[in-house]
Structure 1
Amino acid sequence: MYDRHYNRSGVRHLASLLTVSIYITALLLLCAPSSMANDLLDMSFEELLNVEVSAASKTPTSLMKTAAAVSVISREDIHRSGATSVPEALRMVPGIHVAQLDANRWAVTVRGFNAQTANKLLVMIDGRSIYTPTFSGTYWDALDVSLEEIERIEVVRGPGASLWGANAVNGVINIITSSTLENDTDQLTGWLGSKEHGGLSLLKTIKPGSNNTVRLSLRGLERDQGPLKGDGSNNDTRNGRIGLHWDQQGSKYTLRTTASYYREREATSYNRMSPSAPYNFPLIDDTNLYGGHLQTRYSYYFSPTSTADIQFSYNHFSRHEWLYNQRLHQYSLDIQHSTKLMNTHRLTCGTGININHDYFQSRQGQINITPKHNRTNLFSFFAQDDYSISPDITLTLGTKCEHNEVTGWEWQPNLRLIWQATPKLSLWGAISRAVRTPSHVEENGDLVVSIEPPSTLAPLQLPTVIALQGKNSIDAEDLLAWELGSRLAFNDTFSCDIAMFIHDYDNLQGGEMQPISVAIFNEQPVYMVDYIANNNFDGYSYGAEVAANWRVYSTWSLMLAYSFLDMKTDNGSAEEMTLPERYTQHQVSLQSRLDINNNWQTDCWITYNDGIETQDISPRWNMHLRIGWQPQSAWEIELIGHNLLHDDSVEIYSELASAGSSRSERGVLLRATYKY
């Protein structure tokens, strides 16, 4: 078990953080003018605090009235950051750790436990989960969305399982595409660069009727990441995607349908493990993947206070790489109803079913799942009541109940309270439970962790294979989370969002060592050291996250994001295996956005990452620059520089011993956009 002294120490640290935040909030209130409670914010801050988000409550709620740690990345945020992918844009959110492994693969997590297959984060596109049950993670290289179509990205830091279900443990990311009814601008974007070799994106809107709008999107790109660590070879990716987006609106309903198809070829870096010398060596091999989706959502408005939503989605994914071949078919049906009762209660309830058909075939014997074909069914229902105790205080009580075929019934309740002390100050707190269900690999697979050369102390000069075996009786991981937060804005120039948390984890998965045996691996005799998956570990973390926006002048803004995280997991004994604590303790993001005049913009983005101690990743500062020029209202030309302070560094190593990592390099990008 983890050290209970550490637990008490964590509570003291969090109490100190809470005290400091209360003093800061009080000081800001005292320094603010007396008219603060009545004056409206400048439009940009008003939009920031009153923008409606749905990831935290499944119904549109203003950010100021949301009892959760929520961040919103707008289309303008993505554009002015110079980001060329969704993971890059996520670096600006406090509490999110983003690390790039190579041109195609990313490790993204919220509040710790980062990995290539980070399994405590739920990622969605327009409410459609892209979480894969094979590894309990997200394939970021197969993200089925064009950056130019994104309206905003909603990020919930902390549990969201009472609404979104299992695996929304440490956070939820919902990527929301723009409505064609609200954004019907045609756009052509092209780019060339040193890392981003080239790309082209086209958005074309057609209006077959007054209440019907269709958007066609095309996107293709080629990207290079850089040489492998310790090797001179390059790895790159080529991607093509076509998408269709149809919006229809009536007097009492809206209908949205999206569809897409994509293909990608990427050169992927591996660490080939062999029972013969040299036992481990790097290689690059092509990965071919393709897929698509069909999604439709129908919303009917019975009255201004009563709505119903029905959503169906189908997702197909196929991946062929050096390690394995995989095919995945996912079907999902969700029904939701929200209504207001007695003027003080907002009741939201719903039900859903998810069906997954998964085929997995190992090619190298390093990752195996038996049987190759798997079908899993997930049934769920949820209910949530938002009770307005007074005009300024809202109590939220809800739970989601799910049934899966591995761990059975899982209940995931939450209790939230928010007090809007003034129109520009709100305080909130929450207690939540969330679970992570086992992946196919953890349930009925086996994974080669490493292959070690022969030891001179062993009676037989044989290499040693260390492997983790799945267990069909494995339990779900549990999280109990306590959260506190506040939001404040004043003087129409400054806003601040503070969140603090304690996370208590139970039943974390590891492995129990079995007796060493002599076995045949890849037709050669080896010592086999097997670990059987179990739930013998616990963990604990606490931290704080701050997001602040300051309008220095009408043409110059600064955006700061800071996060602190400390965590402890049970290290286990010599006969047990647990994953190391992959997290970064301090992170900073500082963005400067300057409008020189109506035609020129300059943006600077500085980041700091405290490194990963368990992987010997050193702390690092980095900087990205963007210069934008609009010679005409329809044209924009941008010059973007990435990784300007580092030309040769590794951000993270994969937890999979068979996966390699590349060194990040500096890059320059020239991008032109024409809107017509």
Structure 2
Amino acid sequence: MSIGASPAPRLLLLATALLGGPVLGDDLFIDDQALPEVLTATRLKQSPAAVPGSMTVLDEALIHASGARDIPELLRLVPGMMIGYGAGNQPTVNYHGSNVSDARRMQVLIDGRSVYRAGLATVDWSDIPLAIEDIERIEVFRGPNTVSYGANALMAVVNILTRRPADSHGTRLKITRGENGIDDFYASQGLGWDGGDLRLSMSGMADDGFDHDQFGQPYRDSRRLTRFNLSASHTLTPNQSLDWQLAAKEGSNQRPYTYQPVFPYVTQRGPDADAIAKDYAASLRWNIDFNAGHSLYVQGSAQHFDRQQVWRACDASLAFSPELTRLWQLNPNYAEQVARRANDPPPSNDAEQRALVDAISQQWRNGASEVVCGDVDQSTRETRYDLEIQDTVSLSDSVRLLSGANLRYDRADSATYFNGSLDDQTWRLFGQLEWRVDEHWIVQGGAMFEDSRLTGSSLTPRVAVNYLITPRHGLRAVYSEAVRSPDMFENNVNWSYTVRNLSRNVYGLQNGEYFVKTRGPGNLDQERMRSRELGYNGYFSDLDLSVDLKLFADEITGMISEPLRNNQFIASNANKARFTGSETQLDWQLNARDRLRLTYAYVDAWASNPADRRLSARNSGSAGWLREWGRGWSSGLFYYGDDALNQYRYERLDLRLAKQLRIHGSRLELAALWQQRLDDQPITLEQNRYDSRHRLLFSAELEF
């Protein structure tokens, strides 16, 4: 599906036909309800009809009724969002699609603080230090938004907004138990005083991941984690407030043993090594409202990501040969052939290579074929400091201007990936102008200039025109550009394995360096996207129905698509991709008891590298029915479907049934969640399999 001039008249006729004369009159003259507002699109508070792009809001009621345990499962309710799994503790989230194992092109924020890791270009969805019970809502901007949030907001922005401490007074306790080893807990205490509020929460999550691989063998992919969150808000003066947060998480993620010796006769292997994950974060925000039309905030944050993993590997002593290392530097393909045929190496026409091969063959005859084992440290540590200032001012009744600056420092430490440490400094200037030409037309423009010491500078613009049929019904046309900066790993990797505590001395050393070494190119350009969108957003007050329609055409050039592995990894900007299609989102409050929610996305994906279209389902969507039955009973029925994620179909039906009881002023909710797979296929990858097509969970939550 392409986007040109022809869809616009059809879209306008569709919206006009849907609206009808009476509804137009109601919205313009009778409906005096306050307009809902979203923040994530431009950083300005706007009604959904005035947003320069497509928005999805997952509110607290929807989050609760879904029964989801983590954020990736919630994002199945967002049209066009593709949820995959590298393993049970390694979910990946992409908008419209990308590589299965590397979700690099989406910005994720918690109350404005980015949790995107710049060192290894990833979001650790399983390890985000935030309990789902502390979330008030999730705003998802479905489209590029580098203009507002900088590089890495290439395809979408997920902004997770937590509950205000003022809305969290009292005690809240929850436990969840279920099949597949599910064992979760949550506890929070909120209190307030004159001029301030505070919430402290502790939570934990555990499950056993997938049950077995494609060969029927047990699959090591369980996860265990514990989280701590402290959030507070202080009123300093009538027009100033201070908000701060502290967060910490510690846990372990099982990893299958994946090391494959270069020398095929080596059968020894060490024990499985789990990844120990520790995350710490702190943020402080000072808000000032000068008057009704002028506000400013200053926000600072610090984060530390710590992944510890040490495993024992075995290989032939020849793997640590200085001569084999030199041969790898000269000719990697030939070096691998020699390593596998050291007793009868293939010939070479190069004199230096022949001399090295002769030395390698002599080493082989002198005992380099003997097996040696040692410890490999694959730990990584990343630290980020971020400072941002933003000013929002109404220049007139019809013009609003937002401007700001951001300074960020990132540092990555890894003996394996960076041979020590690597750091980067990025600064940004951004602005957004909203001009309400009259009661119907809104013209919006924005831009961000960003400069990174490692990757250079970029300027990304966005221009949008919104036509408000009424304040609650708007058509939009948007053109935007976005970039993604190559991360430290892709561009500056210095990948080598130092194997410590060898089982015996090799070449006179207790610690050896593996002969395979990988270096990043150091000169990668940014990926660039050009996006075009036509859309409609409307709220029918008589029906209590919200509708969002979108037609899109996105093109990414300069894509970095090579797999991240220590075997002739040569990153380049040689790839590109195109995504075209349509999305629909409906949220209908039928009456006081029933709410229906439908999403659908059609995505026509093409990519020069096949890996970049594996996680693109041509047809995907969700359907939900929330029902209040009375006498404390409620239910949520949800369907999730994708016709092909990495060639595997995914369909699931969830039913959550809950009963609320009032006990001496306290509220107790007992709930059961039944999840039923409607297909019988692996999830994303061939090895991701469950023993059963269904799963049952129970939860109990007490508030007092």
Q: TM-score, normalised by structure 2?
A: 0.81
1:27 corresponds to which of 17, 39, 62: 17
User: Match of 2:194?
Assistant: 210
Deviation sequence 1:335-376 (CA, Å, 0-9, x none): 1111111322211111111101111233xxxxxx33430111
1:245 corresponds to which of 218, 231, 235: 231
Q: Which amino acid aligns with 1:651?
A: I
Q: Which amino acid aligns with 2:280?
A: G
Structure 1 residues 196-235: aligned runs within 5 Å: 197-207=182-192, 209-229=193-213, 230=215, 231-235=217-221
User: Match of 1:675?
Assistant: 703
SS in 2 for 1:443: helix
CA contact (8 A) 2:99 2:612 kept: no
User: Match of 1:517?
Assistant: none
| Structure 1 or 2: more strand by fraction | 1
Deviation sequence 1:571-598 (CA, Å, 0-9, x none): 49xxxxx755431111020001111113
**Residues 1:173 and 2:162 aligned together:** no
Residues in 2 aligned to 1:531 and 1:236: alpha-carbon distance in whole angstroms: 29
CA contact (8 A) 1:329 1:356 kept: yes
Deviation sequence 1:586-626 (CA, Å, 0-9, x none): 102000111111311121101110113xx332x23211110
Residues in 2 aligned to 1:469 and 1:32: alpha-carbon distance in whole angstroms: 66
Q: Which amino acid aligns with 1:539?
A: A
Structure 1 residues 336-415: aligned runs within 5 Å: 336-362=390-416, 369-415=417-463
CA contact (8 A) 1:108 1:116 kept: no
1:506 corresponds to which of 553, 557, 561: 557
1:568 corresponds to which of 599, 606, 616: 606
Residues in 2 aligned to 1:479 and 1:232: alpha-carbon distance in whole angstroms: 42
1:236 corresponds to which of 217, 222, 239: 222
User: Compared with structure 1, are the counterparts of its residues 547 and 447 closer, same or farther at alpha carbon in structure 2 (3 Å cutoff)?
Assistant: farther
Structure 1 residues 135-214: aligned runs within 5 Å: 135-195=120-180, 197-207=182-192, 209-214=193-198
Find the structure with the greater CA-based Rg. 2
Deviation sequence 1:476-513 (CA, Å, 0-9, x none): 1000111111112223242211111111211112469x
SS in 2 for 1:79: helix
Q: Which moved more, 1:293-302 or 1:563-572?
A: 563-572
**Residues 1:302 and 2:302 aligned together:** no
Q: Which amino acid aligns with 1:187?
A: R
Q: Which moved more, 1:146-155 or 1:102-111?
A: 102-111
User: Match of 2:340?
Assistant: none
Q: Which amino acid aligns with 1:589?
A: S
**Residues 1:471 and 2:461 aligned together:** no
CA contact (8 A) 1:649 1:663 kept: no
1:616 corresponds to which of 647, 655, 658: 647
Residues in 2 aligned to 1:166 and 1:294: alpha-carbon distance in whole angstroms: 22
Q: Which amino acid aligns with 1:645?
A: L
Residues in 2 aligned to 1:175 and 1:375: alpha-carbon distance in whole angstroms: 27
**Residue 644 of structure 1, CA deviation:** 4.0
SS in 2 for 1:53: coil
2:95 corresponds to which of 110, 120, 126: 110
Deviation sequence 1:641-676 (CA, Å, 0-9, x none): 124435x6432239xxxxx74548532111111111
Q: Which runs of 5+ in 2 are unaligned?
A: 312-376, 497-514
CA contact (8 A) 1:228 1:269 kept: no
**Residues 1:584 and 2:597 aligned together:** no
Deviation sequence 1:522-550 (CA, Å, 0-9, x none): xxxxxx97353221222222111110123
**Residue 146 of structure 1, CA deviation:** 1.1
1:485 corresponds to which of 512, 525, 535: 535
1:603 corresponds to which of 621, 636, 660: 636
CA contact (8 A) 2:581 2:604 kept: yes
**Residue 432 of structure 1, CA deviation:** 0.7
Deviation sequence 1:35-80 (CA, Å, 0-9, x none): 44357779xxx78xx3322111112222232121011111111100
Q: Which amino acid aligns with 1:353?
A: L
Q: Which amino acid aligns with 1:499?
A: K
**Residue 382 of structure 1, CA deviation:** 0.8
1:625 corresponds to which of 636, 646, 655: 655
User: Compared with structure 1, are the counterparts of its residues 24 and 314 closer, same or farther at alpha carbon in structure 2 (3 Å cutoff)?
Assistant: same
Residues in 2 aligned to 1:553 and 1:39: alpha-carbon distance in whole angstroms: 23
Deviation sequence 1:114-163 (CA, Å, 0-9, x none): 53321110001110011111222211121111111111111001011111
**Residue 446 of structure 1, CA deviation:** 6.8
User: Match of 1:657?
Assistant: none
User: Match of 2:388?
Assistant: 334
User: Match of 1:428?
Assistant: 476
Residues in 2 aligned to 1:20 and 1:63: alpha-carbon distance in whole angstroms: 21
**Residues 1:441 and 2:486 aligned together:** no
SS in 2 for 1:27: helix
**Residues 1:266 and 2:266 aligned together:** no
**Residue 256 of structure 1, CA deviation:** 0.6
User: Match of 1:575?
Assistant: none
User: Match of 2:59?
Assistant: 74
Q: Which amino acid aligns with 2:244?
A: T
1:650 corresponds to which of 673, 682, 688: 682
**Residue 214 of structure 1, CA deviation:** 1.2
User: Compared with structure 1, are the counterparts of its residues 59 and 235 closer, same or farther at alpha carbon in structure 2 (3 Å cutoff)?
Assistant: same
Q: Which runs of 5+ in 1 are unaligned?
A: 1-9, 363-368, 449-464, 513-520, 522-527, 573-577, 655-659
User: Match of 1:320?
Assistant: 308
Residues in 1 aligned to 2:683 and 2:517: alpha-carbon distance in whole angstroms: 26
SS in 2 for 1:406: coil
1:535 corresponds to which of 573, 578, 582: 573
Residues in 2 aligned to 1:308 and 1:418: alpha-carbon distance in whole angstroms: 26
CA contact (8 A) 1:628 1:636 kept: yes
CA contact (8 A) 2:594 2:625 kept: yes
User: Match of 1:7?
Assistant: none
User: Compared with structure 1, are the counterparts of its residues 631 and 472 closer, same or farther at alpha carbon in structure 2 (3 Å cutoff)?
Assistant: same
Residues in 1 aligned to 2:202 and 2:67: alpha-carbon distance in whole angstroms: 20
User: Compared with structure 1, are the counterparts of its residues 439 and 304 closer, same or farther at alpha carbon in structure 2 (3 Å cutoff)?
Assistant: same
CA contact (8 A) 2:387 2:406 kept: yes
User: Compared with structure 1, are the counterparts of its residues 424 and 670 closer, same or farther at alpha carbon in structure 2 (3 Å cutoff)?
Assistant: same
SS in 2 for 1:273: coil
**Residue 447 of structure 1, CA deviation:** 7.6
CA contact (8 A) 1:264 1:290 kept: yes
User: Match of 1:637?
Assistant: 670
Residues in 1 aligned to 2:252 and 2:436: alpha-carbon distance in whole angstroms: 52
CA contact (8 A) 1:102 1:662 kept: no
CA contact (8 A) 1:557 1:594 kept: yes
Residues in 2 aligned to 1:82 and 1:278: alpha-carbon distance in whole angstroms: 49
Structure 1 residues 5-84: aligned runs within 5 Å: 10-11=1-2, 21-30=11-20, 35-38=25-28, 50-84=35-69
TM-align CA RMSD: 2.9
CA contact (8 A) 1:269 1:282 kept: no
CA contact (8 A) 1:111 1:157 kept: no
User: Compared with structure 1, are the counterparts of its residues 529 and 333 closer, same or farther at alpha carbon in structure 2 (3 Å cutoff)?
Assistant: closer
Residues in 2 aligned to 1:278 and 1:124: alpha-carbon distance in whole angstroms: 48
Residues in 2 aligned to 1:102 and 1:485: alpha-carbon distance in whole angstroms: 36
User: Compared with structure 1, are the counterparts of its residues 274 and 23 closer, same or farther at alpha carbon in structure 2 (3 Å cutoff)?
Assistant: farther
Residues in 2 aligned to 1:278 and 1:64: alpha-carbon distance in whole angstroms: 65
User: Compared with structure 1, are the counterparts of its residues 425 and 585 closer, same or farther at alpha carbon in structure 2 (3 Å cutoff)?
Assistant: same
User: Compared with structure 1, are the counterparts of its residues 423 and 342 closer, same or farther at alpha carbon in structure 2 (3 Å cutoff)?
Assistant: closer
Q: Which moved more, 1:549-558 or 1:214-223?
A: 549-558
